[in-house]
Structure 1
Amino acid sequence: MLWLVTGGIGCGKSAFAEELALTVGREGIRLACSSFPGISTVAFYEEKGAHSDFSWTHSQADETLAHKLNAINLESNFFRADRRVIVIDSLSGWLREIYHRTEAAIPDAEARIEADWQEVLSAIFAYQGKMIVVTEDITAGLSLSSRELTYAYRLAAANRLLLEASNTVYRMSAGMATEVKGYRLKRGNLTHENIYPDR
């Protein structure tokens, strides 16, 4: 089961993902990556007395993210997978880190980024248990370099795929979550994610 949490930078996505994890699982694995390279990841997940029955395991969402997801997926028995929730926070930050590590001057830089990106997306979609993915809405100004533009389009395309695959999607705005896809929203038919009937 997949939950998607999206929104702008600093809008409360990570804190909401934590609260969501507490409601859907009994233990969690947080695969963390800061929003921007070089900035320390803030420890949003702290041990709290009120949630003493929920345990967290923390790991960096680094270049081995796809391998970590595949290993967790393969090594999980059914009972453990039903209790546990994986939180990837954040996928957009992970993609920024890949761009940061892969210099534009390197031959086949775009091909390397795309290969790493597709490997991670494949691992997310192949995961059999409960997963919460935190990502950002893409916004663009008037002046974008070609490299920034490829980042924006690459993440936007992935967000659309994640939305299609997700059971529930939340959009954060100034600390408030809005459910934009889920069991509370009626669909027009099987091919249109509308709350209104097709005309």
Structure 2
Amino acid sequence: MKVLVTGGARSGKSSFAERYAATLGSDGLYIATAQAYDEEMEERIALHRQDRDRRGYPWNTVEAQYGLAEAIREAQAPVVLVDCLTLWLSNWLLRLEPEEDAGRRLEEQVDELVEAFHSARQPIVLVTNEVGSGLVPEYKLGRLFRDASGRMNQRLAQEADQLFLVTAGIAVELKSRAFQC
């Protein structure tokens, strides 16, 4: 079972993904991708950990700010949850930005991620942001991020058995309604 959960910022997608993943197996592996660049982000990460603990599902947490495909391939848990792909993508984008071939190298990282998702042996739930519904970013880096995120999400949605869009805390399953041509 391969699941992709998407939605806007603060839409409830992480909470939904955690609850859904808990139905797919006991003892989960939570692969976290966030980097704490400042105090506010440290507080957000701590709050996410507290929320997971409060829900009572036994997560083992692995940090994978960059080596996400490898972490997925090495996962031994009955179910895997990755939160969040857009944070992981932005980690790579910021690391690669100064390089001339940043776009190509970023695409290579996404290729590895898609292959790891495709090859996962256990149920896996990926959380990502839907960033393409807003305005065109004013800056080149923002446009590169939006475009790379959109392409990544499309590729993962094609590999997913299920795709959920979460809005205002309500999850709607999209994949079964997808028109396949």
Name the counterpart of 1:197.
none
Q: In the TM superposition, what whole-angstrom CA distance separates every residue of 1:105-125 from its partner, at most 9, and x where no partner exists?
A: 334333332222222222122
1:137-152 to structure 2, matched below 5 A, reads: 137-139=130-132, 140-152=134-146
2:106 is the counterpart of 1:113: yes
Q: CA RMSD in A?
A: 2.3
2:64 is the counterpart of 1:57: no
Q: Is the 8 A contact 1:37 1:100 kept in 2?
A: no
Unaligned runs of 5+ in 2: none
| Higher fraction of helix | 2
CA distance in 1, matches of 2:69, 2:35: 18
2:52 is the counterpart of 1:45: yes
CA distance in 1, matches of 2:130, 2:148: 12
Q: Percent identity?
A: 24
Corresponding pairs, count = 173
1:58 maps to a residue whose letter is: T
2:99 alignment partner, SS class: coil
Name the counterpart of 2:25.
25
1:70 to 69, 73, 88: 73
2:147 is the counterpart of 1:153: yes
1:93-104 to structure 2, matched below 5 A, reads: 93-102=87-96, 104=97
TM-score, normalised to structure 2, is 0.83
Q: Is the 8 A contact 2:29 2:60 kept in 1?
A: yes
**Segments of 4+ moved more than 4 angstroms:** 35-38
CA distance in 2, matches of 1:112, 1:91: 16
CA distance in 2, matches of 1:100, 1:36: 14
C-alpha deviation, 1:33, in angstroms: 2.0
1:29 alignment partner, SS class: strand
Q: Is the 8 A contact 2:114 2:155 kept in 1?
A: no
2:131 maps to a residue whose letter is: I
2:114 maps to a residue whose letter is: L
1:25 alignment partner, SS class: coil
Call closer, same or farther: CA 1:157–1:35 in 2, change over 3 Å: farther
Larger deviation, residues 89-98 vs 108-117? 108-117
